[in-house]
A and B are shown apart, each in its own frame.
Chain A
Amino acid sequence: MARKGLKACTKCNYITHDDFCPICQHETSENIRGLLIILDPVNSEVAKIAQKDIKGKYALSVK
């Protein structure tokens, strides 16, 4: 389980402390699993597969 207070967007999985995602304004959820940190979205192949084009922390799954 993720640490307390961390939430992730239910749409784009971006991890934040807020109730709404700073990227897509969707609701966030505390029920998150896994962690994917994208440091260089341009060169990262993982980012392309996961379809993340913004640098940051993402959950692998959000319920």
Chain B
Amino acid sequence: MIFAVRTTTGQEQNVAEALASRAERENLEVFSILATEDLKGYILVEATNKGAIEELVRQNFKVKGIVPGESSVKELEHLLTPTKIIESIDKGDVVELVGGPFKGEKARVTRVDKNKEEITLELMEAAVAIPITVGIEQVKIIAKDAP
């Protein structure tokens, strides 16, 4: 069963690590802990019962409480198997280059090649728009194109 634990925002990964080491130290029946960036202020803990979670978070000052109710593993499937970035990127999106000679520059996507996993960009700050083609691993999406 999956339980959601409310934490201080921004401290999700630290709390997850602290709880993991406590679970190991005290041999609690906790199977896994998930801290995803999509879910700010919460971490997801897999355990046999709520008692194990209550014991786990006891006296941890960064934990704000346990969300009542439980969730099933099926509901987390989309978090555990993230879609490839190429599937979520579209023409018109604004991206930041994270590698290569233009690292740190912002650019607008002009073409997406799904088979080669390459995208063609135009740098936003360049005086003349020169198309450059880079691999999908060299960019991160900053803003989606408004429909």
Contacts and interface: CB of A to CB of B under 8 A. Distances in A.
Interface of A: 2-3, 31, 33-40, 43-47, 49-50, 57, 60-61, 63
Interface residues on B, range: 20 to 34
A47 B137 contact: no
A57 B80 CA distance: 14
Contacts of A60: 34, 36, 79-80, 82
B20 to A, nearest CB: 4
B81 interface: yes
A49 B35 contact: no
Contact of B13 (A35, A38, A47): A35
B78 to A, nearest CB: 10
B46 A46 contact: yes
Contacts of A50: 80-81
A34 B76 CA distance: 13
B24 interface: yes
A49 B77 contact: yes
B26 to A, nearest CB: 12
Contact of B32 (A33, A34, A44, A63): A44
